[in-house]
A and B are shown apart, each in its own frame.
Chain A
Amino acid sequence: MNAGSTVNEVLKVENLEVVYNDVVLVLKGLSLACPKGEITALLGANGAGKSTTLKAISGLLECEDGEVTDGSVIYQGEPIQHLIPEKIVRKGIFQVMEGRRIFEDLTVEENLRCGAFTRPRSEIAGGLEKVYDYFPRLRERRKQLAGYMSGGEQQMCAIGRAIMARPQLLLLDEPSLGLAPLLVEEIFDIVKRINSVEGVTVLLVEQNARAALSVAGRGYIMENGRVVMEGKAADLLGNPDVQEFYLGMGHGGDRRSYRDVKHYRRRKRWLG
């Protein structure tokens, strides 16, 4: 695997092993790296361990009875795999969890204020303005209970909380989940803007491989708790296996019957 230069890697995950409930081995020696200022995509089927990877980085495994049993998470040259989530957020890593996880009985603005929990009070007003500039719709609804908003608005609110936290590394877990295609595009545009304007490094977990690879610089593909493929996003998009198994393009067409055995082997490798 490509070791790369460690100088400008914000995050480096090495041979990470995660066990749930002392029994279930979910990550089996996963390694990846996030180059500074780039968007890195982490793709894979359901149950591959993508969300677990993010939670292992942000420390949120703790309350799910998961534990890092081996390997390390190195953030800006410092191991963080045994820190509590609070400390990790203060170091500049912020995770937007899968399913948005909005505080439904708080207003939009209160939700955003929660995002700035670890920041000095003087930054809050400016942070709110910035979020409202990114998402004008949130400004209109800032006094409204977040639980009554649409899924797209809730996702905006979730990303807004992340902007309030001013992270250096943003972990995004399936921002496209349950959103209409146009909204997915809008959300990914914003992610790209946050990345380029704020200079935030992003690690993006996605099922929607095409959308993710279109904004990412590099990508990793996970199966069964390991990385099975990595490379530049453009290379991955052009890779026939990725096209076939993640992007749903029937590669080979009529000739498939002729290559059935080979196809089966490849598929087996991908889908485990």
Chain B
Amino acid sequence: MEYYLQLFINGLVVGGIYSLVALGFVVIYKATKVVNFAQGELVMAGAYICFALTVQFNIPFLWAFLLTLAFSVLLGLAIERMVLRPLIGEEHISVIMVTVGMSSVLKSLVQLFWGTQIRVYPQVLPTEPVVIAGLPVAPVYLAAFALSAVLFAIFSVFFKYSRTGIAMRATAFDQQAAQSMGIGIKNIFAMSWCIACVVSAVGGVILGNINGINSQLGHLGLKVFPAVILGGLDSLLGAALGGLIIGVLENVCDGAARQLFGLGGFREVAAFIILVVILMIKPYGLFGTKEIERV
């Protein structure tokens, strides 16, 4: 039993990171209806930037973290301005293909600068485990989970109550009508990419602290698809829960497969099996918007 509880807690932490990355994904999808295939690479970019700042430039971790966030904002602006703005008015599918290309470019850039071997962050938090409900939990796990939760709370409030947040949702629904309200949709697009880059970078830094990073980190982006589709592509709450559920399920399934059948590596596919099942029984996800039909 303790084995499964431990798996559950690990799952929650990994799930928290999935949720963060899913949040970035959902924000872009909500505002621009673009499915961003480069989301995982944004995670990787953030992780490597923070790594470079702490290890290669010897900047204290907290400052490096803040600088990484600033860098992510710039990265978001750059991507929007150079890659996506020229594509405004084009088919969504063209933009989606461009994000696929962007993921390759980002991955190559990281390999160019840092190579392909695993890099390890310096230990920031104490390694002495904290005991929760009789189970030892690493402080870095707790911090990861708390950070994800706080970011989610902030963005939920932002989208529900702030003027810009409401304008982003309006733009997501009808760009031309949003323009007729005087909403500058280019700013909205830029903002959504910035948010996506920032939350992804946070996810990347957390992962770096837990596992170390390598240039395959971008594959995390693929794991986020089951999470967002489970939650519903355009729902923040869905992204949060979807991420957690996928994280927990893949860890517990993996553990079960290992213990019961002696199978390793089930973790890698569990999320996608879940994805297929979701698509069959709940194609809009748990909280996704169905088209409103008036009667």
Q: A163-203: contact bitstring with B at CB < 8 Å (1 yes, 0 no)?
A: 00100000000000000000000000000000000000000
B182→A165 contact, CB < 8 A: yes
Q: A84-106: contact bitstring with B at CB < 8 Å (1 yes, 0 no)?
A: 11101110001111000111111
Min CB gap B90→A, angstroms? 11
Specify which of A62, A64, A86 is in contact with B183 (CB 8 Å cutoff). Answer: A86
- Tell me the complex Cα distance, A83–B205, Å: 43
Most interface-central of A58, A101, A150 (chain B CB within 10 A): A101
Q: Is B174 at the interface (CB under 8 A from chain A)?
A: yes
* A255 partner residues in chain B, CB cutoff 8 A: none
* A242 partner residues in chain B, CB cutoff 8 A: none
Known contacts A149-B294, A150-B294; 12 additional CB pairs below 8 A are: A60-B176, A86-B179, A89-B181, A89-B182, A101-B174, A101-B176, A106-B166, A111-B170, A117-B182, A118-B181, A147-B292, A148-B294
* A64 partner residues in chain B, CB cutoff 8 A: 176
Specify which of A63, A113, A161 is in contact with B176 (CB 8 Å cutoff). Answer: A63
Min CB gap B189→A, angstroms? 13
Min CB gap A80→B, angstroms? 14
The interface size bin for chain B is: 20 to 34
- Tell me the complex Cα distance, A259–B180, Å: 47
A-B interface contact total, Cβ < 8 Å: 84
- Tell me the complex Cα distance, A240–B238, Å: 62
Q: Which B residues between 141 and 175 are near A, CB-CB below 8 angstroms?
A: 163, 166-167, 169-170, 173-175
Q: Which B residues between 237 and 281 are near A, CB-CB below 8 angstroms?
A: none
Specify which of B89, B166, B184 is in contact with A110 (CB 8 Å cutoff). Answer: B166
Min CB gap A144→B, angstroms? 11
- Tell me the complex Cα distance, A185–B91, Å: 40
- Tell me the complex Cα distance, A248–B295, Å: 32
Q: Which A residues between 109 and 161 are near B, CB-CB below 8 angstroms?
A: 110-111, 113-115, 117-118, 121, 145, 147-150, 161
Q: Is A65 at the interface (CB under 8 A from chain B)?
A: yes
Specify which of A84, A117, A147 is in contact with B163 (CB 8 Å cutoff). Answer: A117
Min CB gap A133→B, angstroms? 21
- Tell me the complex Cα distance, A24–B46, Å: 47
- Tell me the complex Cα distance, A64–B183, Å: 17
Min CB gap A93→B, angstroms? 10
A104→B292 contact, CB < 8 A: yes
Q: Given contacts A114-B167, A117-B163, are A104 and B173 in contact (CB under 8 A)? A: yes
Q: Is B178 at the interface (CB under 8 A from chain A)?
A: yes
Min CB gap A157→B, angstroms? 12
B174→A86 contact, CB < 8 A: no
* B177 partner residues in chain A, CB cutoff 8 A: 97, 101-103
Q: Is B289 at the interface (CB under 8 A from chain A)?
A: yes
- Tell me the complex Cα distance, A58–B182, Å: 10
Closest partner residue, chain B, to A90 (CB atom): B182
B179→A60 contact, CB < 8 A: yes
A117→B167 contact, CB < 8 A: yes
B292→A114 contact, CB < 8 A: no
Q: Given contacts A63-B176, A105-B292, A148-B294, are A113 and B182 in contact (CB under 8 A)? A: no
For the complex, count residues of A whose C-beta is within 8 A of B: 38
A103→B182 contact, CB < 8 A: no
* B178 partner residues in chain A, CB cutoff 8 A: 103, 114
B170→A89 contact, CB < 8 A: no
Closest partner residue, chain B, to A85 (CB atom): B179
Min CB gap B293→A, angstroms? 9
Sorted nearest first, the 4 A-B pairs with minimum C-beta distance are: A89-B182, A147-B292, A101-B177, A118-B182
* B292 partner residues in chain A, CB cutoff 8 A: 104-105, 145, 147-148
Min CB gap A41→B, angstroms? 20
- Tell me the complex Cα distance, A115–B166, Å: 11
B181→A115 contact, CB < 8 A: yes
* B183 partner residues in chain A, CB cutoff 8 A: 86, 114, 117
- Tell me the complex Cα distance, A110–B159, Å: 11
* B179 partner residues in chain A, CB cutoff 8 A: 59-60, 62-63, 85-86
- Tell me the complex Cα distance, A114–B168, Å: 10
Q: Given contacts A148-B294, A150-B294, are A58 and B169 in contact (CB under 8 A)? A: no
Q: Given contacts A106-B166, A147-B292, are A165 and B176 in contact (CB under 8 A)? A: no
A-B contact pairs, 19 of them (CB 8 A): A62-B179, A63-B176, A85-B182, A86-B182, A88-B182, A103-B177, A104-B292, A113-B163, A114-B170, A114-B178, A114-B183, A117-B181, A117-B183, A118-B181, A145-B292, A148-B292, A161-B181, A165-B181, A165-B182
Min CB gap A54→B, angstroms? 10
* A111 partner residues in chain B, CB cutoff 8 A: 170
Min CB gap A92→B, angstroms? 10
* A102 partner residues in chain B, CB cutoff 8 A: 177
Closest partner residue, chain A, to B183 (CB atom): A117
Q: Which A residues between 215 and 244 are near B, CB-CB below 8 angstroms?
A: none
A110→B169 contact, CB < 8 A: yes
Closest partner residue, chain B, to A124 (CB atom): B163
A63→B89 contact, CB < 8 A: yes
